[in-house]
Amino acid sequence: MNPKVEKIATLKVMKTPDSRFYCPHIEIGAITLDENESSHAIKVCRAAVGDTLELCDGLGHFANGIIRVADPKACQVEISQIETPTPQRPLLNLAIACLKDDALEEVVFHAAQTEIASITFLRTDYSQEPKNSDLHKLIRRSELKSLVSLKQSKKPWLTQICGPIAFRDWLKAYCGDLVLCDLDGERTLPDIAIDKLTNPVTLLVGPEGGFSPEEIHLVKSFTNGKTHLLNLGNTRLRARTAAIVALGRII
């Protein structure tokens, strides 16, 4: 073999793993990833010194980090430039009633892949979760689902998980527009599109069986913003399905 060809063949080819890694504090210079991200990069993706990792902080910033120390517990990377493609947090949000089983986690996993700022869990009159539970484990699992969705979708902003909170308390403190899934609503909302929003907008999805008549009255008489009614079609949808279909109508 030609010595030059042999030398080229033995050179390490630098690579960029087909994955994005979460780093809550992106800054110019040397930084260390946490153990979870380090293990994923080094053990799962088999990244090595000299390889490039795509980083995001969930706050609108991206960066490429070149691995300097390939430690699966504390991977060190060097950042020379930070990108800020969308400096403003999205204005679209989802507020959904607490559901039973793993329905809320399923909603988070799918919804958090879209450009929404937050998902709030609401305690409504017909909620199906244990009333004496703080849903701490559910919130934590949902936060992890949101983080996975951030990296998988390669979007700049992490979807925040909020609640659980009583629906009436949430509505009393909320300022912005509302979109209520309702049989009497419009099939399309041309004024509510993600690329046209200037004020916060929250999509409201009730539990199985919907919001109570009193809750619907509170939404329709809401005065801290406009209320829009959105019809999702002729069939009756499960709450987890309605949330995704409704987001699709807006996004």
Range of the domain at 213: 92-250
- Rounded CA-CA distance 234/33 in Å is 49
- Rounded CA-CA distance 156/151 in Å is 9
Model-level pTM?
A: 0.88
| CATH value at residue 227 | 3.40.1280.10
| CATH value at residue 32 | 2.40.240.20
pLDDT tens digits for 93-148? 999 999 987 899 999 999 999 999 999 999 999 988 766 677 888 999 999 999 99
DSSP-derived secondary structure for 124-180: -TT--S-TT---HHHHHHHHHHHHHHHHHHT-SBPPEEEEEEEHHHHHHH--SEEEE
Question: 222 and 134 in one domain?
Answer: yes
Q: Low-confidence residues of the chain, pLDDT below 70?
A: 1-14, 130-132
Domain boundary among 83, 117, 147: 83
Does some domain include residue 2?
no
Question: 177 and 204 in one domain?
Answer: yes
DSSP-derived secondary structure for 195-246: TT--S-EEEEE--TT-S-HHHHHHHHT--SS-EEEE---SS---HHHHHHHH
Task: Look up residue 57 and give its amino acid.
Answer: D
Q: What's the confidence (pLDDT) of residue 14?
A: 60
- Rounded CA-CA distance 106/89 in Å is 23
Q: Do the strands 92-97 and 201-205 form a parallel or antiparallel pair, or are they unpaired?
A: parallel
Question: 121 and 72 in one domain?
Answer: no
Domain boundary among 53, 83, 113: 83
Number of CB atoms found within 10 A of residue 87's CB: 9
